[in-house]
């Protein structure tokens, strides 16, 4: 009875898990560039100390279509600052956090940061 009154009867929502690949080395960037010639590559740069970054990551995860034919890379930019810096140099995109880069044919075809990440229609780039 008390559970119904106070809302404790809610069934927990199953958490969606994306097929992330951890981006931890600079060498992986060459692999991403090469792979992008056959399949869209997506890099999500995330700051683990930033509440906005966490919120955007959660929204991205919830909205992501698991049927998209793209490889997803997760970059913890605080633990892999050198990799984060190299992403900016290699793909000519100024660093922001959170940030999403979409790479096709070796080039960034779209990128966004903060709330704009969730405005990108990834299906246009796959």
Per-residue pLDDT for 12 more than 80?
no
Q: Which has the higher per-residue pLDDT, 5 or 115?
A: 115
Mean pLDDT check: name the lowest of 5-9, 23-27, 36-40, 119-123: 5-9
Query: Residue ranges per domain, the chain?
Result: 17-125
If you search the block for the tokens 């990834």, which residue do you land on? 122
Q: Structure pTM?
A: 0.87
pLDDT for the residue 16: 85
pLDDT for the residue 52: 93
pLDDT band with cut points at 50, 70 and 90 for residue 3: low
Closest by Cα among 77, 56, 74 to 120? 56
3-state secondary structure of 96: coil
If you search the block for the tokens 């633990």, which residue do you land on? 79
Average pLDDT, the chain: 90
Q: What length does the chain have?
A: 126
Per-residue pLDDT for 5 more than 70?
no
Per-residue pLDDT for 2 more than 90?
no
| pLDDT tens profile 54-97 | 999 999 999 999 999 999 999 999 999 999 999 999 999 988 88
User: Domain 17-125 classified CATH 3.40.30.10?
Assistant: yes
pLDDT for the residue 7: 59
């Amino acid at each position: 009875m008390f559970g119904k009154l106070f809302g404790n009867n809610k069934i927990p929502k199953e958490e969606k898990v994306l097929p992330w690949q951890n981006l931890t080395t600079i060498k992986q960037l060459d692999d991403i560039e090469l792979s992008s010639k056959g399949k869209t590559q997506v890099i999500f740069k995330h700051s683990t100390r930033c509440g906005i970054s966490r919120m955007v990551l959660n929204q991205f995860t919830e909205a992501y279509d698991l049927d998209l034919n793209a490889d997803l890379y997760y970059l913890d930019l605080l633990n892999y600052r050198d990799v984060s810096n190299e992403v900016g140099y290699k793909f000519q995109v100024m660093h922001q956090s959170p940030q999403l880069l979409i790479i096709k044919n070796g080039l960034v075809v779209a990128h966004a940061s903060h709330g704009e990440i969730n405005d990108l229609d990834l299906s246009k780039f796959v």
